Amino acid sequence: MYDNVSFYLESHEVESINLLEEVLSNGSDITVEKLGETGTGIPFGYVSIVGANNQKLTFKIFPYSIWMSGKNSSICKYYLGDNFQTLTLEDFNDAILNISEKLGVDITKARVSRIDLATNFYMEKDPSNYHSCLTHLSRFTRGAINGNLYFKTTQIELNFYDKKKEYRQKRVKIPEQFKEVENVLRYEIRFKKNISKLFKRKITISDLCGKEFFSELYHKWKSYYWNITKQNPIVFDSETTTMGTKDFKDYFFVQGMEATGGVKVVYDIIEKSKKAHTLTSTKASYLRSVVSSAYSNPILSVNYDYVEELNDKMSNYELILK
């Protein structure tokens, strides 16, 4: 389930006087990409190690710190050769041991600054069909970029996208074992900032290697999904029924409600307005009946239960800890 992870290691955590010298002296199979000095005369270096399918991990190293983030920072690509797959806990532990051995520095005490957790679901329909079902998540902004659906705050982002489409757009070779698999929906959660604040403690690579924290991440990944308000897409079905003006109005009325978060959000607004005494009980009841009538219009139908399939995939996905 692990995808990208960013981290930094400070020299005092490993009782090192000079991390740059230590890596240059003790590292094995490393490539020094660049050596230089900052404007204040502090030496630094960019050092790379190469893993599966010639995938690189690149580190920026100072005497007092090692940083891994940004370009060439996918442990998943480094260890597995691609990020179509994700790392199991066992994979991640093996990868961290491998990286530590190559750098000549134990990175398990490094502080984590970003965690991405993900998996692929193999769906019946094209992945883009499921985006409109995921309508609202409290305190998150919903949006779409390049066909990717996201819910995000400044610290956390949920992302739903077509993994095969992403590879095709980037002109990256799809791994052989996935070439015949269609409709790959990726669900990813990204803890992007203030990791210590989010988890109420300092998080290190050692934590990520442990079953307890991995399980905590998994349950967060699941719970955020279940907190999303879901609604099957509404479509015209005028093959068997004559469509009139009211049907047309109902369709766009429903679409407007869906754009604001769906029927649950609309009912919540009506209820809050009633409690604030800006709506009478009679008026609130009438508005709920208008909403219900629009949604129950027989000309507005669903030709497939996308929400049920999504929920089944999530319900049946179980984390295996080795």
Quick check: is 89 in a domain? yes
Task: Based on the fold, state whether residues 186 and 287 are members of the same structural domain.
Answer: no
- Once rounded to an integer, what is the mean pLDDT over residues 215-236? 89
Q: pTM for the complete prediction?
A: 0.80
Do the strands 184-191 and 111-122 form a parallel or antiparallel pair, or are they unpaired?
antiparallel
Residue type at position 312? D
Question: Which pLDDT belongs to residue 198?
Answer: 93
Task: Based on the fold, state whether residues 211 and 241 are members of the same structural domain.
Answer: no
Quick check: is 306 in a domain? no
Residue type at position 161? Y
Whole-angstrom distance, CA of residue 193 vs CA of residue 112? 10
Q: Which residues contact 139 (CB under 8 A, 6 or more apart)?
A: 153
Tell me which of 230, 245, 277 is where a domain ends: 230
Q: Is the pLDDT of residue 223 over 70?
A: yes
Q: In terms of residue numbers, what domain contains 254?
A: 235-301
Task: Based on the fold, state whether residues 294 and 211 are members of the same structural domain.
Answer: no
Question: Which pLDDT belongs to residue 265?
Answer: 84
Q: Is the pLDDT of residue 254 over 90?
A: no
- Once rounded to an integer, what is the mean pLDDT over residues 192-220? 95
Task: Based on the fold, state whether residues 83 and 148 are members of the same structural domain.
Answer: yes
Question: Which pLDDT belongs to residue 240?
Answer: 53
Please say whether the beta carbons of 158 and 137 come within 8 A: yes
What is the count of structural domains for the chain?
2
Tell me which of 230, 247, 266 is where a domain ends: 230
Task: Based on the fold, state whether residues 54 and 128 are members of the same structural domain.
Answer: yes
Task: Based on the fold, state whether residues 265 and 209 are members of the same structural domain.
Answer: no
Task: Based on the fold, state whether residues 210 and 242 are members of the same structural domain.
Answer: no
Please say whether the beta carbons of 188 and 158 come within 8 A: yes
First to last CA, the chain: 13
Quick check: is 64 in a domain? yes
Q: Give Dmax (Cα) for the chain.
A: 80
